[in-house]
A and B are shown apart, each in its own frame.
Chain A
Amino acid sequence: MHINLIIVMEKRFGVKFAAAEIAGMKGEDQNVGTLVQLLEQKLSRTKAIRP
């Protein structure tokens, strides 16, 4: 996954991807869907924390 895409998503959605998560997205079987899924997980966790 292109690192610039990850930077833009971090900025747009206010989340941070860990080094291991970014590394996991470099695999050949990974695609934009994987990134979106991970983003959704992060956003749902953020919502759960916020009152």
Chain B
Amino acid sequence: MSVTSLEFLLLLFLGAAVFFRLPSARLRQLAFTAGTAGFVYSYVPDPARWVVLLGFVLSGYGCAELLRRRPSRVLFTSYIILLIATFAFLKKYDFLKPCIPERFLDLHLQIVGLSYILFRQIHFIVDVMQGQIERPALWAYINYQFNPFTLLAGPIQRYQDFQEYWVHPVPSLHDRHAVLTAYLRIFTGVIKVVVIAKVCCGSYDGLLGQLGGAGPLSPGGWRAAAKLILMLYYYLFYLYMNFSGYCDIVIAGASLVGLRLPENFNSPFLARNILDYWSRWHITLGHWIRDYLFTPFYKTGAERFPRHTQAVAVAGYFVAFTLAGIWHGSTWNFFIYGLLHGAGASAAKLWENAIIRYAGRPGLRKYLRSAAIRWAAIVATFHYTCFSLFFFALDLGQGQQILGRLLKSFAADY
């Protein structure tokens, strides 16, 4: 059941209309669980996948309970390794193919939403282990993991915020204007996903067909290069409209039943560097990468090598963004996508440090205030993210084919 489908929207509106008429928190929790179960069942109808999915999720709760009672670094590390290995197996990562027989990888156990379940699970276990979640409840945890508003593609909500709602499911929209604004946001989200994203996707597919087809590229290399750039623009706008529209629907939909979800987008095309970009695009993922990958890596490295913190930060950006790139998909192109963002983030930090070294903090402030520099940085960042999408939209075979044809086209021109 897609979040833009009529069934989902009707069920959401009906559910929202009766949800706060239920007299107690317990009844509201039961209604939420029933909705969650129905939603998950629509995506995972066969029992084998239910078993795998429940095993994956419940193992996290079991491990967290053990760690809460007796914190153990060995147990924590072993579980995280096992969890990521299981995730990689279920997602059929390319790098597993030489190591695991094909018949095991073809078990057809792919499960929707697993990528986001993994992030929530790691956050939950780390926070329980560090004493930031004191009394996790199994029912709340299951609803947190399978919450229909965040199951498929985020936003990545913190367990603590969900638990607060779960204990006191009260309305978050306090007047008619707020309710109407939420409905308007859902409507806008549907238009973004169903109309604008579809148009962008159609244009992208058309250009991909021309650039990646079997016939010769006509009429020349420069025109073909312009088409490639236009194709990446379309892809970026498709991704933005599709994902931000989806987020509009789920954030506004959740607010109708009192659940506040974190925002996921904040004018990403105005980012002035890659670090800024990840604080504007898929914000909750950017924060997750920062809090659970980059910061622990940097802290550990900087404590061991206090004289080389800049090198540690660069290594941290590469590690964090490469892992985040791999998380996006199971083929090698996502590895390159991650590396490009690691390089972009490192360049942004090194550039900032260089300005501070040569011009001091006042120099940096002056640099940041300059409108001309700001717009140049925005245009450069926009095109760098477009370029990186070449390795997001296309697998290595397709990318190689398009670049090969482009080069041949240029060679024919000269």
Residue of A3, A7, A11, A20 with most partner-chain B CB within 10 A: A20
Residue interface bits A8-46, CB-to-B below 8 A is 1, else 0: 000100000011111100100000000000000000000
Q: Are B132 and A18 in contact (CB under 8 A)?
A: yes
Residues in chain A near residue B302, CB distance under 8 A: 3-4, 7
Q: Are A19 and B309 in contact (CB under 8 A)?
A: no
B interface SS class: helix
Q: Are A19 and B292 in contact (CB under 8 A)?
A: yes
The answer, yes or no, to whether B374 is at the interface (CB within 8 Å) is no
Closest A residue to B126 by CB, please name it.
Answer: A19
Using a Cβ–Cβ cut-off of 8 Å, how many residues does chain B contribute to the interface with A? 18
Residues in chain B near residue A18, CB distance under 8 A: 127, 130-132
Q: Which of A4, A6, A22, A23 contacts B309 (CB 8 A)?
A: A4
A-B contact count (CB 8 A): 38
Residue interface bits B287-302, CB-to-A below 8 A is 1, else 0: 1001110011011001
Q: Are A22 and B291 in contact (CB under 8 A)?
A: yes
Bin the interface of chain A by size: 10 to 19
A23 to B295, CA, bound (A): 9
The answer, yes or no, to whether B46 is at the interface (CB within 8 Å) is no
Residues in chain A near residue B299, CB distance under 8 A: 3, 6-7
Interface residues of B in 287-324 (CB under 8 A from A): 287, 290-292, 295-296, 298-299, 302-303, 309
Closest A residue to B300 by CB, please name it.
Answer: A7
**Contact A20:B127 (CB < 8 A) given known A3-B295, A4-B309:** yes
Q: Are A20 and B158 in contact (CB under 8 A)?
A: yes
Residues in chain A near residue B131, CB distance under 8 A: 18
Closest A residue to B127 by CB, please name it.
Answer: A20
Residues in chain A near residue B296, CB distance under 8 A: 19
Residue of A7, A23, A26 with most partner-chain B CB within 10 A: A23
The answer, yes or no, to whether B160 is at the interface (CB within 8 Å) is yes
A28 to chain B, nearest CB (A): 11
A20 to B295, CA, bound (A): 11
**Contact A20:B287 (CB < 8 A) given known A3-B295, A3-B299:** no
Residues in chain A near residue B160, CB distance under 8 A: 20
**Contact A20:B303 (CB < 8 A) given known A3-B295, A3-B298:** no
Q: Are B130 and A19 in contact (CB under 8 A)?
A: yes
B287 to chain A, nearest CB (A): 7
Residues in chain B near residue A22, CB distance under 8 A: 291, 295
A18 to B160, CA, bound (A): 14
Closest A residue to B279 by CB, please name it.
Answer: A26
Closest A residue to B298 by CB, please name it.
Answer: A3
**Contact A19:B298 (CB < 8 A) given known A4-B309, A7-B303:** no
Residues in chain B near residue A23, CB distance under 8 A: 287, 290-291, 295
Residues in chain B near residue A21, CB distance under 8 A: 132
Residues in chain B near residue A19, CB distance under 8 A: 126-127, 130, 132, 291-292, 295-296
A38 to chain B, nearest CB (A): 12
Residues in chain B near residue A26, CB distance under 8 A: 287, 290
Residues in chain A near residue B295, CB distance under 8 A: 3, 19, 22-23
Closest B residue to A16 by CB, please name it.
Answer: B130
A39 to chain B, nearest CB (A): 16
Besides A18-B130, A19-B130, A26-B290, 10 new A-B residue pairs in contact (Cβ under 8 A), listed by A number: A3-B295, A11-B303, A19-B126, A19-B127, A19-B291, A19-B295, A20-B158, A22-B291, A23-B295, A26-B287
Q: What are 20 pairs between A and B in contact, CB < 8 Å?
A: A3-B295, A3-B298, A3-B299, A4-B302, A4-B309, A7-B302, A7-B303, A11-B303, A18-B132, A19-B126, A19-B127, A19-B130, A19-B291, A19-B296, A20-B127, A20-B130, A20-B158, A20-B291, A23-B287, A23-B291
